[in-house]
Structure 1
Amino acid sequence: MSILLKLSGLIDALNEAVGKLVYWLVLVAVVISAGNASVRYVFSTSSNAWLELQWYLFSAVFLLCSGYTLLRNEHIRIDVVIGRFSKRTQAWIDVFGFIFFMFPMALLILWLSWPMFWDSFIHSEMSNNAGGLIRWPAKILVPAGFLLLSLQGASELIKRIAFLMGLRDEPGDKMHGHS
């Protein structure tokens, strides 16, 4: 179990680093959005590429931070119900949820999104919009995001099992806590 906990720590560090890096994409998206709006109003011109880049950046933030959100326990859950249970019961509910809901969903989306990315990459798919961007960079975000989410789910599962075995004091960082 100590090897699995070390692996969990590496996965946590990966998602922590990706999350903090992707934070900066929010600023980039805001700057691009403001710049594009300013150019549109001042010069009465715009570019679909800039609009699409904003969409790509929003997608990157949303998808690549899914594992980071799970790590930070900021994902959506019904705390009103689960918060009434003991930490052990909460951990068992999480183990059940990871195994029977999160993993099947995330791995299925990962599996199904890879061929769509690959086809787009091989054929250099372009946006249908005039001046639009190539599409594969946006399409790789889907499998990448669900890979990071699946890895973080494995890390959280390891931490919950270690807690249930009595090897950890807390099942996960800020488990079911309020920030």
Structure 2
Amino acid sequence: MKLIAKIMKIIDMFNEWFGNIVIWISTLMVLVVCYDVTTRYVFNKSSVAVQELEWHLFGFLFLLGAAYTLKHDRHVRVDVFYDKLTEKKKAVIDIIGTLLFLIPFSILVIYTSKNFVINSFLIKEGSPNPGGLPYRFILKSAIPVGFFLVLLQGISLLIRNFLILTGKKEYLEGSQK
């Protein structure tokens, strides 16, 4: 039990680290959007590169922040019945959902995005737009990375709920929800 609790804590620390990176990405995105709006509406100038940078940053924010959001249980959920359930019943639902949906979907996205990303790297894909950003392959590589982080967090979620279900909550001490 100690080993799987340690694995859970390592995964949680890893995704917490990525979550802190995402915080800085979101700050940068706000600054870029403010710059874009100011130059567009005050100075009547627009830049394709700045506009592409906005959606590149948003892509990184979404893909790299999904696991952090899952770790902190801040994802969208319809809690009509779930909130009223006991902790053990919630654990059963989370285990089933993780095994049936989260893990298989993450594996599917990682597997199917492999060639997409490899081809993008091989041709050193950039923006097709004049004045656009080069290195679009870096953004595309965030797809399997982001889903790998979600997959890891799904494993952590499984471990956490297994410990709850088996009454071994003492192994959750010091871990963040």
State the TM-score, normalized to the length of structure 1. Answer: 0.90
1: CA distance between counterparts of 2:25 and 2:88? Answer: 38
Residues 12, 155 of structure 1: 8 Å contact kept: yes
1: CA distance between counterparts of 2:48 and 2:8? Answer: 42
Residues 71, 152 of structure 1: 8 Å contact kept: yes
Deviation at 1:26, TM superposition (A): 1.3
CA distances 1:22-53 after superposition (whole Å, capped 9, x unpaired): 11111111111221232234443322111111
User: RMSD value over aligned CA atoms?
Assistant: 1.8
Residues 94, 161 of structure 2: 8 Å contact kept: yes
In structure 2, relative to structure 1, the CA distance for the partners of 1:43 and 1:82 (3 Å cut) is: closer
Q: Does 1:20 align with 2:50?
A: no
Q: Does 1:129 align with 2:93?
A: no
2:33 alignment partner in structure 1: 33
Residues 114, 143 of structure 1: 8 Å contact kept: yes
1: CA distance between counterparts of 2:111 and 2:129? Answer: 28
Give runs of aligned pairs for residues 38-49 of structure 1, distance below 5 A: 38-49=38-49
1: CA distance between counterparts of 2:53 and 2:71? Answer: 27
Residues 5, 171 of structure 2: 8 Å contact kept: no
Residues 163, 169 of structure 1: 8 Å contact kept: no
CA distances 1:75-125 after superposition (whole Å, capped 9, x unpaired): 122222112221111101111110011111111011111211111011011
Between the two proteins, what is the percent identity of the paired residues? 36
Residues 109, 146 of structure 1: 8 Å contact kept: yes
1:177 alignment partner in structure 2: none
What letter is aligned with 1:104? P
Residues 36, 50 of structure 1: 8 Å contact kept: yes
What letter is aligned with 1:29? M
Residues 163, 170 of structure 1: 8 Å contact kept: no
2:119 alignment partner in structure 1: 119
Give runs of aligned pairs for residues 98-177 of structure 1, distance below 5 A: 98-133=98-133, 134-168=135-169
Q: Which runs of 4+ in 1 moved over 2 A?
A: 36-46, 169-174
State the TM-score, normalized to the length of structure 2. Answer: 0.91
1:57 alignment partner in structure 2: 57
Number of matched pairs: 174
CA distances 1:59-89 after superposition (whole Å, capped 9, x unpaired): 1111101110111011122222112221111
SS at match of 1:45: coil
User: Greater shift after overlay, 127-136 or 164-173?
Assistant: 164-173
2: CA distance between counterparts of 1:9 and 1:3? Answer: 10
Residues 73, 173 of structure 1: 8 Å contact kept: no
- Structure 1 unaligned segments of length 5 or more: list them: 175-179
1: CA distance between counterparts of 2:123 and 2:70? Answer: 34
